[in-house]
Amino acid sequence: MYRTKSAAAAVLTAALTAALTTIGAPQASAATGCRVSYQVTNEWQGGFIASVDVTNLGDPISGWQLTWSFGGGQTVTQMWNGTVHQTGAQVSVDNVNYNASLGTGTSAGIGFVVNGATSPAPTGFALNGTACTGATPPPQDVLAQAHTAGRVTKNGQYTWPGVYFEGRFRGTGVGIVLNDANNDYDVQIDGTTTASLVTPGKTTYWVNGLSNAEHRVRLVKRTESPWAAGEFGGFVAANGGAILAKPAARARQIEFIGDSLTAGYGNLSTTRDCSSNGGVNRNTNTDISFGALAARSLNADYQVNAFSGRGMVRNYNGGEPGTSYRTYYDRALLNVDGDVWQNPGTWHPQVVLVGLGTNDFSTALKPGEQWPTTDSLVAAYKSAYQGFLDKLRTRYGAGTTIIVDVPQASGTFADAARQVVQDRTNSGDSRVRYFNFGDLPLDLLGCDWHFSARDHRLIAGKLTDYLSTLSLNW
C-alpha cells in the first residue's frame, strides 16, 4: 500500500557547467548551469518512488545526461522520461527524444521506482559530467586537469589522429566526458586498455569497480577525422573520489609528420581487403602506430600529425589538386579553413620525423596535372621539401633533429628524399638526417596494402635503435 511522504521530502538544489559543442566547425562551448530538485513522492516497505526536476539556468543545450550515486544499496527498477543505466551505486539517466532540448529556464522531469530505503538520499548529482553546485560557474578548463601534448584547442577540440589525454584520480571510478560521433577511442587505466569506444557520441563513459586508491587514466583517439572535430570534456571522479593534479609532461618530445603510413591506417587488419571486416576506421589504431610505439618506448610525449592521402606537393592519384599536406600542417582543426594551432608554449620537440612522398610518387601522373613529367614532379617535390624543412627549422630551432623517413629501399621517392637530405647537409644543416626502413620484412597486411600491426612494431624497433645512434638534445 502506498503512502505519501511529503513532510520528509528531500530537496537538493544545484548547478553545473557543461561543454556541449556541435561536431564540425568550432563553436563557443555552451556555458550552462542547472538546478536539480530531488523528491521522494511515495514509499512502502522496501521501496519508494522519487522524482528529479532539472532546470537549465544557462545557454540552451541539445542533450543531457544526469548522474548520481546511491549510498544505501538502492536500485532503480523503473524509469520514465529518461533512459537509466546503473552500475553498483552509480546511476546515469540519458534524455529521451522529446526532452533532449533544454532552453534557458526550461525544465525536464524524470520519475523512477527504487528498491531500497529512502535514506540516505542520493548524492553527487552531475549533468554532462560536471558536478551540480548551485550556481553557474565559468567554463571549465579541461586541460587544467589533463595532460596532453596534441594539438588541442582551448575548448578541448581536436582532429589529428593519436591525440591523447592523461589524468590522475583517487577512488573507485572515473568518468570520461566526450562529444564525438565520428572517432574511436581507447580507455586505459593504469596502463591497461579497459575499453574501446566506437563513435561514442555525447557521453560520460564510466570505469567503475576499481580499488579505492590512486589511479591513472588515459584516453587516446584511434582514428583520423579530417572532416570533423572531437571534443574532450574532462575527467570526473566517482562518488567519494577526487581528480588529482595532472601528470607532469615528459621531458622528451617527438613529432611525427606523414600520411596514412604514419597514421596507422588499417593496421589492425590481417587482410588487405577490409570491406568485410569493419572497414578502415574499425581497423585503425594510431596508438599502435610506429611513432606512438617508439615514443612510448623512449618515454617521450608525441604528436602524430598525419593525414592520409596527402603528399608534399601531390596527393594520392592526383586528387584535390592545389592542396597538399602543407595546406593543413599549421592547423589544429583540419576541417576549418585557415585555422592555426596556438602552441601553448610547451611543445618544443627535440626530434621531428617527416614521412611525405608515398602519395606524391605511388601513382602515375595523369594528363592535365601541373607536372608534365616525373622529372618536373621530382623538382617540385624537392623544392617544397626544402621550404618545409626551413619552416620546421624556424619553428623549432637549430637544436631539433629533423629526420626524413622513407619506407622504400630505392626508387624515385627514395632517391628524391635522399637528395633533399644531401642538399641540406651541403648547406650546413647537419641536424637533418635520412632514415630508410625499406629493408625490413614487412608483410603489408593492413587495409589496402598498408603496414600491419606487426609491421609497425618492426619499424618502431628499428627507429628506436636508430635514434639511439644520434646525438639528441634530450
Q: Is 430 assigned a catalytic role?
A: no
| Per-residue CA distances from 405 to 2, 258, 261 (Å) | 74, 9, 11
Q: Name the residue with cell 529556464.
A: 105
Say if CB 183 and CB 162 are below 8 A apart.
no
Instruction: Please give the Cα distance from 236 to 90 (Å, whole number).
Output: 13
Q: Which of 29, 92, 260, 289 is catalytic?
A: 260
Q: Which residues are catalytic?
A: 260
